[in-house]
C-alpha cells in the first residue's frame, strides 16, 4: 500500500500544470488538457486572491476592461468550456463548439502567477513559455535584442513541432532554476 502524499494547494496546482504541459506537448486530448488546466488555474487564482496577490490576466485584469453590465456574460463565456466539461447539471446542451487554443493562455497565466506566488519557475513552465512566445512573439514587449533573436530562431523552433521542441528543450532546462 502506498503512503499518503502531503501537499499544499500550490503543490497540487504545480503538478497539474506540469502534467498538462507534458500532455500538451505530446498532442494529448484537448478536452482533458483544458479541464486539468482550468483546475490548476482556479486553485492558483483562489490562493492568489486569499494572499491579495496581483490580479491574474485572464480572469481578473481582462474583466476590468469589460463594461459592468457585460461582465457576467463575459465571465460565463470564459468559463463555458470548463463548466461544460465538468458539469451535466448546469445546462441541458449536449454539444459545445470548443476552441482548444483557449487553454494555451490559461496555462501561460497560471504558470506566471505560480511564479509570482512561489518564486519558483519549474523547468516545464519555462519550456511552455518559450513555445508560447515562439508561436506569438508579436504579443510581447521585448527588448530589441530579443526581437532579433526571435526573428532568427523562431522558424526552426516551430518546424520542430510541439513534441520535437519539448524533447529538445527538456534536457536543456532541467538544470536551470529561476
- Return the pLDDT at 27: 94
Q: How far apart are CA 31 and CA 77, in angstroms?
A: 16
**Domain ranges, ordered by start, for the chain:** 9-173
| Neighbour tally for 12: CB within 10 Å | 15
For the segment 62-76, the average pLDDT, to the nearest whole number, is 84
Question: Which of 37-46, 68-77, 105-114 bottoms out in mean pLDDT, i.e. has the lowest?
Answer: 68-77
Span 3-30, pLDDT tens digits: 998 999 999 999 999 999 999 999 999 9
- pLDDT level of residue 178 (50, 70, 90 thresholds): very low
Give the rounded percent of residues in the chain with a pLDDT score beyond 70: 94
For the segment 75-85, the average pLDDT, to the nearest whole number, is 83
Residues 126 and 175 sit within 8 Å (Cβ to Cβ) = no
Q: Which of 11, 10, 24, 12 is nearest to 108 (CA)?
A: 24
Span 86-125, pLDDT tens digits: 876 666 668 888 899 999 999 999 999 999 999 999 999 9
Asked if the model's pLDDT at residue 69 lies above 80, the reply is: yes
> Each residue of 114-132: b (16+ CB within 10 Å) or e?
bbebbeebbbbbbbbbebb
Is the pTM here over 0.75, yes or no? yes
Q: Which of 105, 118, 103, 98 is nearest to 61 (CA)?
A: 105
Asked if the model's pLDDT at residue 177 lies above 60, the reply is: no
Interhelix angle 9-25/123-135, nearest 10 degrees: 50
Helices (H) and strands (E) in the chain, counts: 7, 0
Amino acid at each position: 500500500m502506498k503512503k499518503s502524499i502531503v501537499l499544499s494547494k500550490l503543490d497540487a496546482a504545480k503538478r497539474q500544470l506540469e502534467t498538462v504541459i507534458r500532455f500538451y506537448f505530446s498532442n494529448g486530448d484537448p478536452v482533458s488538457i483544458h479541464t486539468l488546466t482550468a483546475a490548476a488555474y482556479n486553485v492558483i487564482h483562489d490562493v492568489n486572491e486569499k494572499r491579495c496577490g496581483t490580479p491574474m490576466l485572464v480572469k481578473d485584469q481582462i474583466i476590468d476592461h469589460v463594461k459592468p453590465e457585460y461582465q457576467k456574460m463575459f465571465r460565463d463565456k470564459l468559463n463555458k468550456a470548463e463548466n461544460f466539461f465538468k458539469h451535466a447539471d448546469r445546462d441541458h446542451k449536449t454539444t459545445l463548439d470548443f476552441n482548444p487554443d483557449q487553454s494555451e493562455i490559461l496555462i501561460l497565466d497560471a504558470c506566471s502567477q505560480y511564479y509570482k506566488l512561489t518564486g519558483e519557475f519549474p523547468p516545464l513552465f519555462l519550456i511552455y513559455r518559450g513555445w508560447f512566445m515562439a508561436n506569438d512573439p508579436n504579443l510581447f514587449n521585448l527588448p530589441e535584442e530579443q526581437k532579433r533573436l526571435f526573428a532568427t530562431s523562431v522558424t526552426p523552433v516551430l518546424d520542430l513541432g510541439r513534441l520535437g521542441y519539448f524533447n529538445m528543450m527538456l534536457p536543456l532546462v532541467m538544470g536551470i532554476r529561476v
